[in-house]
Amino acid sequence: MGYMGFGMRKEVYKRKPKKSFLKLKEVYGNDTPKVKHHPSAPKLTSDDVLNKPRFRSIHDTKFFQIVKLLLIFTVIGLFLNFAFIQPWLFEHRFLALRKNLIESYSDDHKFLLSSGEHLNLHYFKFDSSDNSSITAKKGINFSGRGSHIDRPYVAKIGTRNPNAFNIVMTNDAMHVSRNDSIQVLKETWVLIFDSDTIDNRYNRIFSQLSIDLEYIEELRRKLRVKNISEVKFEDSCTSIQVADHRDYGVYEYVRCGKALRENENMIKLDSLTYLRRRY
């Protein structure tokens, strides 16, 4: 037999366990010890002991059971909210917004969208504020912001920071009178009319651009009525922004010279007009 760490003392590894509580039984015998109570102490039955809060674990109290149920229902409610209710509300509000924009399309919107064909410019951007701003361009992607405003192909007339004194339009070029020279712009040019008022001083330039001042005033009036900031005409399409939502994107009415392909972000309103969604 191999060595087990007990040496050769057989009584060690063949020892049998003693019976438990043997000494206790020798002292008390078969009678269980009784605790002495004070004579005036209340006598409690087993039911009383079970129902006394001080004898129960905190997990068995009503308060703990209520808190546990509240936590369970809270977790279930949050799961249902984020998994089902919020997506349903998002889709419901999105469809309601789109339906409202489709139903809100009116004759005033048609008038604003027809301005691109009426003015017959390569590009224009017109706002409804008291400070009139009209931008026309040819052969360039011009945003009207940043350093583009100081480029040599930009001619700005009006009462606010003009860089040109006179503009003469011909069939193939725009002649710009600067401080000491006349600049001829043919393939690429941008003309910005930026003024506090529209008056007869610019009639000749407007007539060369086929801009009717009465028509411009009507445009401004309808833009204010519909609470629309500006109307744009670019790439043969006239557009007006009608909604800007943080979650659902930017919506605009668009009218183009040709039919566009319909999809979930391009909904047809009439033969050439669409509700377009941009992100």
pLDDT in tens, 76-92: 999 999 999 999 999 99
Q: What is the pLDDT of residues 227-255, one digit of tens each?
A: 887 888 877 788 889 999 888 999 999 99
The pLDDT score that the predictor gives to residue 39 is 78
* pLDDT tens by residue, 118-168: 776 655 666 655 556 777 777 766 655 544 566 778 888 876 778 888 788
pLDDT confidence tier of residue 275, bands split at 50, 70 and 90: very high
| Mean pLDDT of all residues belonging to the chain | 78
Q: Higher confidence at residue 121 or residue 115?
A: 115
How many other β-carbons are positioned within 10 Å of the β-carbon of residue 278?
11
**pLDDT for 165:** 80
Instruction: Return d(Cα 164, Cα 152) in angstroms, integer.
Output: 11
Q: How far is CA 74 from the centre of its chain?
A: 28
Task: Identify the pLDDT of residue 3.
Answer: 57
For the segment 35-50, what is each residue's pLDDT rounded down to a tens digit? 677 777 777 666 666 6
- Give yes or no for a contact between 156 and 180, defined as CB atoms under 8 angstroms apart: no
pLDDT of residue 70: 95
pLDDT of residue 90: 93
Q: Distance (Å, rounded) from C-alpha 40 to C-alpha 34?
A: 17
pLDDT in tens, 181-204: 888 888 788 887 776 666 666 777
Q: Determine what percent of the chain is predicted with pLDDT higher than 70.
A: 74
CA distance 214 to 219: 9
Nearest to 116 by CA among 247, 243, 219: 219
pLDDT (0 to 100) of residue 196: 64
pLDDT number for residue 74: 95
pLDDT for 147 equals: 47
Q: Residue for token digits 């009503």?
A: 62
The answer to whether 226 and 108 are in contact (CB under 8 A) is: yes
